[in-house]
Structures are given as C-alpha cells and as structure tokens.
Amino acid sequence: MAGPKTNRIGLPVTDYRGVSSTLCKGCGHDVISNTLTTALYEMGVEPWRVAKMSGIGCSSKTPAYFLGPAWGFNSVHGRMPSVATGALLANRTLIGLGVSGDGDTASIGIGQFVHMVRRNVPFLYVVENNGVYGLTKGQFSATADEGSRLKDGTVNDFAPIDICTLALELGATFVARAFSADRKQLIEILKAAIAHEGFAVIDVMSPCVTFNNHVGSTRSYDYGRNHEGPIHEFGFVPAWDHPEVGGGGEDTFDVPMPDGGTIRVQRVGRAHDPRDKGAALRLLHEDAESPEYLTGVFYVRAGKPPLPQFLKMVEEPLATLPEARVRPTRETLAEINESYR
C-alpha cells in the first residue's frame, strides 16, 4: 500500500500544517498560511530548522497555523525584527521566517523594520497587509491609502508607508509584492524568497474580510482583483530541478538564486527584470501615483553578506557551543588580572 504523498525530504504535507486557524472565515491571512504550507512543502524545507516569528495581530497569530513542527515565537507588538535578529544570531543555521501585519510592521514597528533591513538579517519577512488593525477592530494602519475609507465612512488623511519602496531604499536584496488571492504567483514568490540568502520582504495584500473588504477600501478582494498589475510572469525552478540557463526557452530570461534555483521570467507584458534596482524604483514611484497594484519580485540581488557573515561568526550555532569554545582559559584570566595589577 502506498504511503501518503511526501516531498523531497520525505515529509507529508501534514507536517507543514499547523493547528486550525481561529481567524475569520475568508481572511486573507489564512490564504497566506496555506500558501506558505504549500511553498515550504514543495521546497522541502526542514520544519525543525525553521524559526517562525511574529509580533501581535491577527496576522501575527498565523505562525501557529502552518508548519506545526517548527519553532514558533509570537513576541510583542511591532518588535519581531529585534527578536528575530537575536534568534538568528544565536543559531545561524535556523531558517528565519516571519509574519507580521501592516500595523505591526509599519505603525509601531517601522523603526525596527528599518534597522532589520539595514542589518541584512537572513530572514523572510512576510507582511500581511490589510491596511487596518484587524485584531483591535479595524482602525487604519500606516499603510492605509490616502483617501481610503473605513466601513463607518472615516477617511484616511495620511499618505501610506510603502513597505517595498522603503525596503529597497534601505538596501534590501529581495523585495516583492503579492496579493493573497493570487495564490499561484504568491507560491512562486515565496519559493524564490526561501531560496534567497539575506533579508527578503514580501508585502502581501491580504484582505480583512471583517473590517476592510467593503466598497471604498483599497485593500478589499474586489479592489485587489480589479487593480492587480503583475510586473512580470515568472516561476521559480528549484535547484533540484536542475534549471539550465535558457531552459525556459527564448521567451524567458533567468535570474539565478544562490541556492542553485532560478527565477524564470516570461518575456511578456512588462517582464520587469528583478535585477534592475533603478527600474524597480521607477516602477514603485509610478505605482505610487497610479491606482494599479503592482505585484511581482521588484528586486533581487545575491551576494550581500547577511548579518552573521558580516560579524564573522562561527558556522555552528552559538546556542550549543561547548564550554571550551565560549569560556576563555584560566591563562587568559590570569593575563587579564595581570593587566590590572
């Protein structure tokens, strides 16, 4: 009798699921959790190597809803970046994966976000962006579009913070945007981000069905469907599928990833080349003026050393180094004492 279907490291998809969600039915965040499950399963990520981090919010609850056998840390509001930075320093062999909300990232958390980007912490940072604080019942967050409306008619007067532009400006080397309802694209983006080394951010429009899915919202499913503008069509070809250069044919171009995988972009429509930062910035600045909601991988660049490499840390986890490697010798102490005599 055949066992359950497994992935390349021999695990069934159930190992990539979590406890059942307590979010509202139809919440965009649940779609993202499911997509993460699929992407992690298909990429054959070892669950027990993953540190799932989050802040506080509906979005921040979701790490409990996928990848059960991983290590989870639902920390405090807006401060996931620092906690994640510390965790990845303690054990650089961990695969850092964070889920945050737009309030958690762009309102209370923007300071830590900025500095995490600067430090190039090796981390996949997913923003589940619904333009509101879901968990506290629907107030505007700092990513809410100017002029968008709450259910009760309240209009947002302030310009939104654009997570992607900001990340690009600050030197992030993987910057993407997606729409939770476009699962197909999101899976490919997630896979590419998983293959990336260093900091990767994906800003995902993730409608809040309870507080921000009405007419007048710019984060509703309808708005997303009507305004999504993919900047390219692409797929991720993982390393073990042995992507050859040009393997996608003449109508594609390839962006190789450090893990051996490849982002393969179709030469149709805009066909944005994600290696071109200038073009990415131009796209984003145009986007800011237009109602179109651009999705895709704006920018990817390999080779920038992530934080542990910057600090020239040993390869092994600091967390479990034996005493001999962390406590200097008796002679060293004698030398130190001597210097104060």
Partner 1 sequence: MNESTRAAEVPGPVSVNDLTLRVATVNGSGSQTANNTLLRALFHMGLPVSGKNLFPSNIAGLPTWFTIRVSGDGYVAPKRDVNVLVCLNPASAEDDVRSVPPGSLVVYEETLRCERYRDDVVLVAVPFQKLVKEVCEPVALRKLVVNMIYVGVLTELIGIEVAEVKQALDKAFAHKPKALGLNRDAVRAGIEWVRENVSRVSPFRVERMARDEDLILVDGNTAAAVGCVFAGVTVLAWYPITPSSSVAETVAHLGERYRRDPETGETTLAVVQAEDELAAVGMVIGAAWAGARSMTATSGPGISLMSEFVGLGYFAEIPTVIVNVQRTGPSTGFPTRTQQGDLLSAANLSHGDGRHPCLYPSDPHEAYEFAMAAFDLAEGLQTPVFVLSDLDLGMNLWMTKPFEYPEEPICRGKVLDAEGLAKMEDWGRYKDVDGDGVPYRTLPGGADGVGAYFTRGSGHDAYARYTEKGDDYIATMQRLALKLETAKSRVPEPVLDGPGTAVGLLAFGTSHHAVVEARDHLRDELGIETDYLRLRAFPFTDSVREWIEAHERVYVFEQNHDGQMRRMLTMEFPSLGARLHSVLHYDGLPPDARSVWEPIALDAVPSVKGGA
Ligand X SMILES: Cc1ncc(C[n+]2csc(CCOP(=O)(O)OP(=O)(O)O)c2C)c(N)n1
CB 131 within 8 A of CB 102: yes
Q: Could you tell me the two tokens for 217? A: 């919202």
Q: Which of residues 29-68 bind partner 1 (CB under 8 A)?
A: 46-49, 51, 53, 56, 58, 61, 63-64, 68
Q: CB neighbours (10 Å) of residue 11?
A: 18
The interface mask with a second copy, positions 141-180, x = CB under 8 A, is -x--------------xxx-xx--xx--xxx---------
Cα separation, 78 vs 55, whole angstroms: 6
Instruction: Retrieve residue 114's tokens.
Output: 């900025």
Residue 144 binds ligand SF4, judged by CB under 6 A = no
Tokens of 67: 């990848």
Task: Kindly state the DSSP code that residue 320 receives in the 8-state scheme.
Answer: G
DSSP 8-state assignment for residue 56: S
Residue of 6, 93, 226, 290 interacting with partner 1 (CB under 8 A): 93
Closest CA to 161 of 150, 169, 171, 152: 169
Residues in contact with ligand SF4, shown as a per-residue x/- string from 249 to 288 under the rule CB under 6 A? ----------------------------------------
Q: Which does 102 bind (CB under 5 to 8 A by kind): Mg ion, partner 1, ligand SF4, none?
A: Mg ion
Cα dihedral across residues 153, 154, 159, 160: positive or negative: negative
Q: Which does 73 bind (CB under 5 to 8 A by kind): Mg ion, a second copy, partner 1, none?
A: partner 1
**One of 50, 58, 94, 190 touching ligand SF4 (CB under 6 A):** 58
Interface residue with partner 1 among 16, 34, 39, 77 (CB under 8 A) is 77
β-pairing, 139-140 vs 95-101, is unpaired
Residues numbered 97-136 forming contacts with ligand X, rule: CB under 6 A: 101-104, 128, 130, 132-136
Which residues on neighbouring strands pair with residue 149, listed in sequence order? 155
Interface residue list for Mg ion (CB under 5 A): 101-103, 130
Interface residue list for ligand X (CB under 6 A): 56-59, 77, 101-104, 128, 130, 132-136, 141, 208
